[in-house]
Amino acid sequence: MRSLLVVFAAASGYFIALPLIGSHLAYIGLISGVLIAAAALIFEGRVKQTPLRIVAGGAIGLITGLIAANLLAYPLTLFFAKNSYLELAAYLLANSIIGYLGLTIGMKKGDEFDASRLLVRLFKDSHLQPGGPTSQPVHLKPPIVIDTSVIIDGRIADICETGFIDGAIIIPQFVLQELQYIADSPDSVKRLRGKRGLDILAQLQKNTKIEVQITGQDFPSVKEVDAKLVALGRELGAKVLTNDANLVKIAEL
C-alpha–C-alpha distance, residues 94 and 158, integer Å:
51
Based on the fold, state whether residues 159 and 223 are members of the same structural domain.
Answer: yes
The 10s digit of each residue's pLDDT in 184-228 is 988 889 899 999 999 998 888 888 778 888 888 888 888 888 888
Whether residue 90 has pLDDT greater than 50: yes
Based on the fold, state whether residues 63 and 38 are members of the same structural domain.
Answer: no
167: closest CA among 247, 242, 238? 238
* Contacts (Cβ under 8 Å, ≥6 apart) of 103: 58, 61, 62, 65
- pLDDT at res. 235: 85
Comparing 209 with 18, the larger pLDDT belongs to 209
Angle between the N-to-C axes of helices 2-21 and 27-48, in degrees from 0 to 180, rounded to the nearest 10: 140
Based on the fold, state whether residues 1 and 70 are members of the same structural domain.
Answer: no
The 10s digit of each residue's pLDDT in 61-89 is 889 988 988 888 777 767 766 666 677 77
Based on the fold, state whether residues 41 and 119 are members of the same structural domain.
Answer: no
The 10s digit of each residue's pLDDT in 120-176 is 555 555 444 444 444 444 445 788 888 888 899 888 888 888 877 777 888 988 888
In a domain, 132, yes or no: no
Based on the fold, state whether residues 72 and 94 are members of the same structural domain.
Answer: yes
Based on the fold, state whether residues 149 and 235 are members of the same structural domain.
Answer: yes
Based on the fold, state whether residues 45 and 57 are members of the same structural domain.
Answer: no
In a domain, 134, yes or no: no
- pLDDT at res. 25: 65
Residue 203 burial (C-beta neighbours within 10 Å; 0-12, 13-18, 19+): middle
* Contacts (Cβ under 8 Å, ≥6 apart) of 116: 143, 168, 170, 213, 215, 217, 236
Based on the fold, state whether residues 158 and 103 are members of the same structural domain.
Answer: no
Based on the fold, state whether residues 171 and 216 are members of the same structural domain.
Answer: yes
Look up the pTM and report it.
0.46
- pLDDT at res. 139: 42
- pLDDT at res. 137: 44
What's the chain's length in residues? Answer: 253
* Contacts (Cβ under 8 Å, ≥6 apart) of 122: 140
What's the mean pLDDT when you consider all of the chain?
76
Number of separate domains in the chain:
3
- pLDDT at res. 89: 73
Based on the fold, state whether residues 115 and 20 are members of the same structural domain.
Answer: no
- pLDDT at res. 192: 92
In a domain, 207, yes or no: yes
C-alpha–C-alpha distance, residues 45 and 88, integer Å:
30
CATH number of the CATH domain containing 186 = 3.40.50.1010
200: closest CA among 228, 245, 161? 161
C-alpha–C-alpha distance, residues 252 and 100, integer Å:
50
- pLDDT at res. 81: 63
140: closest CA among 237, 20, 22? 237
Neighbours of 5 (CB within 10 A): 15
Residue 244 structural domain: 144-252
Mean pLDDT of 46-56: 71
Based on the fold, state whether residues 70 and 111 are members of the same structural domain.
Answer: yes
Mean pLDDT of 51-55: 73
Residue 72 burial (C-beta neighbours within 10 Å; 0-12, 13-18, 19+): middle
